[in-house]
Structure 1
Amino acid sequence: MSRIEVPERLATGSVAVAASGVTVQIDGKRILDDVSIDVRAGEVHALIGPNGAGKSTLLSAITGDQAITAGSIDIAGRPLGDWALRDLARRRAVLLQHNEVFFPFTVQQVVEMGRAPWQRTERERDDDEAVAEAIAATDIARFTDRHVPSLSGGERARTALARVLAQRTGILLLDEPTAALDLRHQEDVLRLAREAAAAGDAVIVVLHDLNLAAAYADRISLLQTGRLVVTGRPADVLTPERITDVYRYPVEVMSHPTTGATIILPVR
């Protein structure tokens, strides 16, 4: 049986994902309007904005799950539409906002599903190591034998993240990965995203928590009503005037007295 060629990892700093002029129109309504971003290997790129800004729609367009009306999307320098699904699954891993598993798979089995794209490739020999590392990193070892439908929302979210990490693709697309998690596990998820970027991965993450975006993202793209407001470093994007205007609520932005980290506080 022939072995399938394994794609090389992208060089750190090279463009892993490029969206140009992306427009999405659904039932006559523009959900995204001429949005352009690029995401590079070795960085965490956060998508932020109020509810309905188009964050998850943009991520869905990048994953290929949402058809676009206009514009283009390239993955690893190749048009998204030119990728075969199995090849695409070796290039990017996707964590959806809703990860419902209705069949009684165990946690272990779900994480192992992340290795499916690597069958019949030289990376198949890494399956056990990749699964074990993902389980340890997401702190789910104590319930690997449990069936996923019996888990809490947070436990399911961490199981889904472990599957994505086990996939080892070099591009991670994460839609609100911290939404169902407590404080510790929110920090753990973003720490894992940072570690993945430090190892050379390109990470796109949709976040609602502005403080998490400020703490963990290398660059941020701020969206509002389907349009891109600005892309840049957290300190440049998260100004009090801009956040107050986009979110329609007054905020203060300050630096932590010890670490210098950017902190966003609503005015109460």
Structure 2
Amino acid sequence: MCTLAIVVAIAGIPARAVLAREAEGSAEEAAEEAADQEAAAAAVVEFAQIVEGDALDPNPVEALYRPIVKVELSFAKRSCDLTEEQLQTAINECKTALTEFAKKQGNVNQRNGMVLFAGGVQQQSTPPREKLEQELQTKIVSTLTVEQSKAYQKELEQRVEFRRDAIVGALLRGLDSKLSLSERQSEDIREGMIEHWSDNWAPELEMVDNYGQHYFPQIPSKAITPYLDASQKRVWNGLQKVNFSSGMAIHQQGNVIDDIDLGE
């Protein structure tokens, strides 16, 4: 059911878009639109196959998000020099949190699946992955000493900044390819995106490769347009802006730090 929701959510868009453009007599633009949407649909189908593979697990939602637990525990282990006793306590607490999260998320997935957000469609206020990370971090903090907690919080803040800067850098490269930005414009737009940063428009780091060629996220205009000339504004206004959201954990074909034994 989730896979069907994925395909319908994506495949429904090109049909409407192509028909609208053909009605206007723009067959060439319609073909380009269809090609763009086919590329997006292919990526979605690939993810759907991964989800279906996880369905072989008796707890498929837990299987999908289990890498997040390993990453967060490994991060804490390296950041705070956890003792074996602390690590085992954190593992037990985080496994419990994952089970509770999976039950809630399973109900949400039945309603929403994976969605391509565009136009007036609203994205969840907090992505599922981020919700789980927050819950895991709370569990981990409960196992730490005061000094360890300070070190952990500092590392978390630096990780957030790193992720944000990596996403901004990737988006800037895509913007430059379309708008031929000057060095000053690039710096101003970089600062603009950071100033107006919000999870409501910023893509997940794992999804950022979907942007820059055919699509851009719904970056606030005030972060970009004040620094563009008239010609660049026309180009920017004509670019297709959507928010891809998988709500997923870590891509199962990626490389995940795996130095934590959850006793699976």
TM-score range for the pair, normalised by the shorter chain length:
under 0.3
More helix per residue: 2
TM-score, normalised to structure 1's length? 0.24
Greater C-alpha radius of gyration: 2
More strand per residue: 1
